Amino acid sequence: MRDAFVAEWMKSFSGKLWLIMVLVGSLFSVLGAYGFATAGDKALAEGRTTEAAVSHDLLQAPLSMLVFTAALGAALVTREFSAGSITRSVLLAGGRDRLFTAKTLAVAALGALFGTATVVLSAVCAVVFMSSKGHTLVWDQQSVLTLIGLFVCSIAASLWGAAMGWVIRHQVGAMILVLLLGTTLEHLVITMVPGVGRFLFFEAMSGLSHDTTVHGLLPAPAAGGVILAWIVVTVLVGRRLFTSRDVT
């Protein structure tokens, strides 16, 4: 299994897709953080908020990175179907179950790596933008929980994206669906029907990361449970489909 895992890890960094996702995700995160810093600076000047609140907003700004992490997870699975290399993967990995497990572990490890990068990006952006506006970043319990939430959510996003890939098996379709869900569709649902939207995957991740910019989110423990349920269901469905359908 170790060899299969390392091979899947090597595949993850083949081509430029991972780099594109990191760069685009980082750009969105930095722009988001800058926006929160600017709005926070104005609100602080008007006495409408506190440095702690602005700090928390800034720290969770890289939540957008999670959308791209999920899209990458989906792409790492689906591009094998698009390229036809899935056939060779199945034949050489020693069975579909073994391949599924190795890829799932590799995607989880990739999520952890991206999570670490996201946490570092979050902290650096928060420090730089708060300083640039003449404020001090507040480190308190919620700051730490936000960063932990980002890290855990990165692994979750990667796993969920990959599971969606096993279900959809089409690279463009899977990536578009994941990106649309993360950037638009789920926000629309929670805005219009908060009672439903809070149980969606990305909105649950916002809850786990203590996102203070969206109203109606689940508290962190419940959000963690919802995320886990989404992952378990999609992984089970993806595995079931992969092991039962013809490999084409």
Partner 1 sequence: MSATDAVVAVENLAKRYGEVTAVEDLTFRVRPGRIVGLLGRNGAGKTTTLRMLLGLTRPSSGTAAVFGRPYAELPRASHRVGVSMEGVGPTPGTSGRRDLKIWAKTLGLPAARVDEVLHEVGLDDAADRKVKGYSLGMRQRLNLATALLADPELLVLDEPANGLDPDGIRWLRTTLRRLAGEGRTILLSSHLMAEVEQTVDDIVVIQQTLRYCGSLDELTGGGTRRLEDCFFELVGDPSRSQTHA
Site residues for partner 1, 58-87, by CB under 8 A, read 79-80, 82-85, 87
User: At a CB cut-off of 8 Å and minimum separation 6, what does 93 contact?
Assistant: 4, 7, 99, 102
241 binds partner 1 (CB under 8 A): no
The Cβ of residue 190 has, within 10 Å, a number of other Cβ atoms equal to 22
Alpha carbons 39 and 37: distance in angstroms, whole number: 6
Kindly tell me which of 94 and 225 has the beta carbon lying closer to partner 1.
94
Q: Does 172 bind partner 1 (CB under 8 A)?
A: no
* CA–CA separation, 10 and 15 (whole Å): 10
Decide: 28 and 34 in contact? Cβ < 8 Å: no
Q: Does 90 bind partner 1 (CB under 8 A)?
A: yes
128 makes contact with partner 1 (CB under 8 A): no
Contact call for residue 88 and partner 1 (CB under 8 A): yes
Stretch of 7-15, 36-44, 62-70, 202-210 contacting partner 1, by CB under 8 A: 7-15
Query: CA 83, 86, 90 angle in degrees (round to 5)?
Result: 160
- Of 8-16, 21-29, 131-139, 233-241, the window that binds partner 1 (rule: CB under 8 A) is 8-16
Binding site for partner 1 (CB under 8 A): 3-4, 6-7, 10-11, 14-17, 79-80, 82-85, 87-95, 246-248
